[in-house]
Amino acid sequence: MVDAVVTRLRALAADTLAGNWEHDHTVPSRTLYPHQWSWDSAFVAVGWAHLRPDRAWRELRTLFAAQWADGRVPHIVFNPARRGGAYFPGPDFWASARADGAPAVATSGLLQPPVHALAAWLAHRRAPTAQARSALRWLYPRLVAQQRYLAGRRDVGGAGLACIVHPWESGLDNSPAWDLPLAAVPADTAVLRAYRRRDTDHADVAHRPTDLDYARYVALAESYRAHGYRDDGLPQRHPFLVECPLVNAAAGAAEHALAGIAAVVGADPGPHRDRAARITAAVVDRLYDPASGTFHPRDVRTGALLPARTVLGLLPLILPDLPRRQVDAIVAEARSARFGLAARMERPLPSHDRTAPDFEPVRYWRGPSWINIGWLLWRGLRGHGHPELAAGLAASMIRLVATAGAHEYFHPDTGAGLGSPRFAWTAALLLDVLA
Ligand code: 2M8
């Protein structure tokens, strides 16, 4: 890569992160997402670690200061200064103050993929200072509580995997992965008359989830909220319960990261290694389908694997102890015409099987290319001995941002920028790929 291009990209990334910094956290986007999002903050911390490690730690501390008593880390922490309708569903909708164990600050009641221990571990590895050690000491019990919540109250299926109760918890909101279980959620777009979507004020309607999707998102969130966001009795009353390959692979990778963190803070790494091995075994046992040769989410309500071949199927590659057979299967799936991974990529990595009839090149998580997903896969490829493919993916991600800017997502054929134009995790993870 030409030095001048790298310098320009680093400056663009630094400028984007600085522009989205808001006192004690980073907003994903000033327009679309003006609060703090959980997994965005983890990715952003990875980026800040390259520029301002103090901000990486501040970001994670702000998020974990909003952790619930049961250990859940909320998917949104609302900025009180931005109250008043900038984002839907906002703090009044979630009404976290009425739920047991919620923090003083307003949050949502959902979670997102637990990539925070990994982010903290990477930030420490980049700058292992006294400040980093002190931050890890503060974070460690909180990261452990986050894992305990996932492995305990959220193990609805009873097989050692965490269950998600809403597509927003996967981070891949309208992925075709969720179409089948969502179709079983009773909802009517008339419910939206009581609310106003704000996302379509800032983004093209054709690039966002549909009104019917939103009606179901609202119905599911209302169902969870009606029981104070408690997890007991979910199988009897909640219409969406799914074991997601990404959430569970992230939980397994978190235990590996926690083993490293434990050693730094003077705790015992052993239990983390044991739990990591158990999660990896359960991910393989419950979510790998030998017939399709890839991973799928499992619908806990029906017991069936969900058939869509989305990019979620590739993400167990972030598990450092994934067995060779599944590593090979993921690499084959990624290299197929469905995803087009190559040492020299012709097109960006899509979020859904590009040969599928329901592939939609501009609609959010139904086709467009996302840097956070590319980054996770890039790490997995490097960890499992595929440096040429990792380099091909990195070059493709760098080309996207060099050509279109630090967009939220990209057209999977043309590489055109879509969604928010100054998106925090795109900038943050680009810095990591360029390092
Ligand atoms: C998107 O999700 C939010 C809901 O959480 C939304 O569409 O309003 C997703 O891309 C999610 O993964 C991301 O964390 C969030 C903020 O960037 O936006």
Q: Which of 16, 20, 33, 218 to mutate to test the pocket of ligand 1 (most atoms within 8 A of CB)?
A: 33
**3-state SS string for 20-67:** HEECCEECCECCCECCEEHHHHHHHHHHHHHHCHHHHHHHHHHHHHCC
2: confidence class by pLDDT, cuts 50, 70, 90: confident
CA distances from 342 to 19, 99, 294, 393 (A): 34, 48, 18, 7
Atom of ligand 1 nearest to the CA of 370: 10
The yes-or-no verdict on residue 1 having pLDDT over 80 is no
- What 8-state DSSP symbol labels residue 410? E
By the 8 A CB rule, do 118 and 380 touch? no
Q: Each residue of 318-377: pLDDT tens digit? A: 999 999 999 999 999 999 999 999 999 999 999 999 999 999 999 999 999 999 999 999
Q: 18 C-alpha vs ligand 1 centroid, how far in Å? A: 20
Q: 89 preceded by cis ω (within 30°)?
A: yes
By the 8 A CB rule, do 143 and 121 touch? no
Phi, psi for 107 (deg, rounded to 5): -140, 175
Q: 274 C-alpha vs ligand 1 centroid, how far in Å? A: 32
The yes-or-no verdict on residue 22 having pLDDT over 90 is yes
Q: What is the full DSSP assignment across 144-197?
A: HHHHHHHHTTT-TTSSS---BSSGGGGS-TT-GGGHHHHHTS---GGGGGGS--
Q: Which of 35, 37, 107, 426 to mutate to test the pocket of ligand 1 (most atoms within 8 A of CB)?
A: 37
Phi, psi for 308 (deg, rounded to 5): -60, 140
By the 8 A CB rule, do 432 and 26 touch? no
86: confidence class by pLDDT, cuts 50, 70, 90: confident
Atom of ligand 1 nearest to the CA of 108: 5
Q: Does domain 3-434 have CATH number 1.50.10.10?
A: yes
Whole-angstrom distance, CA of residue 131 vs CA of residue 57 = 9
The SS3 of residue 108 is coil
- End-to-end CA gap in the chain: 12
Q: Each residue of 158-167: pLDDT tens digit? A: 999 999 999 9
Q: What is the pLDDT of residue 189?
A: 83
Q: What is the pLDDT of residue 194?
A: 78
- Mean pLDDT (the chain, rounded): 96
| Residue found by looking up tokens 């520029």 in the block | 51
- What 8-state DSSP symbol labels residue 372? H
Q: What is the full DSSP assignment across 234-262?
A: HHHH-S--EE-HHHHHHHHHHHHHHHHHH
Phi, psi for 307 (deg, rounded to 5): -75, -25
pTM recorded for the entire structure: 0.98
The SS3 of residue 71 is coil
Percent of the chain with pLDDT over 90: 91
Beta strands in 187-339 (DSSP E): 242-243, 288-289, 294-295, 298-299
Q: What is the pLDDT of residue 317?
A: 98
- What 8-state DSSP symbol labels residue 132? H
Q: What is the pLDDT of residue 208?
A: 87
The yes-or-no verdict on residue 84 having pLDDT over 70 is no
Which H or E element spans position 400? helix 387-404
| Residue found by looking up tokens 């408690």 in the block | 230
Q: What is the pLDDT of residue 190?
A: 79
Q: Each residue of 25-52: pLDDT tens digit? A: 999 999 999 999 999 999 999 999 999 9
Residue-wise burial string across 198-230, b where 16 or more C-beta atoms lie within 10 A, e elsewhere: bbbebbeeebbbeeebbbbbbbbbebbbeeebe
Q: Each residue of 231-241: pLDDT tens digit? A: 999 999 999 99
Query: Taking CB atoms and a 6 Å cutoff, what residues make up the pocket around ligand 1?
Result: 28, 33, 37, 39-40, 75, 168, 171, 173, 199
What type of residue is 288? Y
Q: Which two tokens stand for residue 215?
A: 């009606």
Whole-angstrom distance, CA of residue 73 vs CA of residue 49 = 21
Q: What is the pLDDT of residue 381?
A: 98
Q: What is the pLDDT of residue 200?
A: 87
The yes-or-no verdict on residue 83 having pLDDT over 80 is no
Q: 110 C-alpha vs ligand 1 centroid, how far in Å? A: 12
Q: Which residues contact 177 (CB under 8 A, 6 or more apart)?
A: 170, 244, 296, 297, 306, 308, 310, 312
The SS3 of residue 359 is coil
Q: What is the mean pLDDT of residues 166-186?
A: 96
Whole-angstrom distance, CA of residue 148 vs CA of residue 307 = 29
Partners of 298 in the β-ladder: 243, 305
> Which residues are known catalytic residues?
173, 408
Q: What share of the chain is helix, strand, coil (3-state, %, to 5)?
A: 55, 5, 40
The yes-or-no verdict on residue 172 having pLDDT over 80 is yes
